[in-house]
């Protein structure tokens, strides 16, 4: 039985009213800073959450009343203050090894997992595509116009990517933080230095309003 079907059966047996599109999952995105952000699945109790901790961020996943740690993002003092990402039961790696540069100017990266998945922003919409350019996921925001809403509210993703959600959520919060910051590359020392210099981690106050 596929992991997707197992997940659906767990939801069906949990007493929750399950509304799962066989092709797509829909998550509500909390309106907060990237390192205090959460994805809540509409139709079940599945929640991905980023929480600010000392020197970085802890990512967890909660479902059926149980919480597991997914990954941690932190500054590595032993490696020139570079950002590291450590997934549970895996070796820590630098952020630039996890998000591999494809088109830095247009902010396109390949997520370092078995499948070829590309993360990028198109007119400020976050999108995931496969190697052929087929859309796999996107968030909802209105980047321009009278009803501009640059903070997304909903994240739509192909149900086929459920097994890679751990990696996708980590990639999302890193790239969304970069977008709101808008002044440094996600990669290498520049991003690490900006992280170190902004302990408030991007609140909704002050000069950030225009880029959010």
pLDDT single digits (tens) 99-134: 888 876 667 888 988 788 999 887 667 889 988 888
Q: Report how far Cα 108 is from the mean position of its chain's Cα atoms.
A: 14
Question: Domain residues for 183?
Answer: 3-141+150-196
For the chain, which residues score pLDDT lower than 70?
1-22, 79-81, 104-106, 123-124, 142-145, 147, 182-212
3-state DSSP call for residue 81? coil
Report how many domains make up the chain.
1
Question: Which DSSP symbol is given to 31?
Answer: S
The verdict on residue 209 lying in a domain is: no
Task: Give the torsion sign (CA, 200, 205, 207, 212).
Answer: positive
d(CA 121, CA 126): 5
pTM of structure: 0.76
Distances (CA, A) of 179 to 5, 63, 84, 172: 35, 29, 19, 10
The verdict on residue 205 lying in a domain is: no
């Amino acid at each position: 039985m596929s992991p997707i079907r197992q997940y659906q059966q767990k939801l069906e047996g949990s007493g929750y009213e399950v509304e799962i599109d066989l092709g797509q999952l829909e998550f509500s995105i909390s309106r907060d800073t990237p390192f205090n952000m959460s994805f809540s699945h509409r139709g079940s109790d599945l929640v991905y959450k980023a929480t600010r901790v000392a020197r970085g961020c802890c990512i967890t996943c909660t479902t059926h009343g149980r919480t597991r740690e997914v990954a941690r993002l932190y500054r590595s003092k032993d490696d020139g203050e570079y950002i590291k990402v450590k997934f549970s039961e895996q070796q820590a790696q630098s952020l630039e090894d996890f998000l591999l540069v494809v088109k830095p100017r247009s902010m396109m990266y390949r997520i370092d997992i078995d499948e070829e998945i590309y993360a990028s922003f198109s007119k400020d919409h976050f999108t995931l595509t496969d190697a052929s350019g087929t859309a796999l996921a996107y968030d909802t925001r209105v980047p321009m116009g009278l009803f501009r809403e640059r903070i997304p509210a909903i994240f739509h993703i192909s149900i086929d990517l459920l097994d890679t959600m751990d990696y996708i959520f980590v990639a999302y919060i890193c790239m969304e933080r970069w977008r709101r910051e808008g002044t440094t590359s996600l990669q290498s020392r520049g991003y690490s230095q900006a992280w170190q210099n902004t302990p408030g981690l991007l609140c909704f106050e002050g000069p950030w309003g225009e880029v959010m």
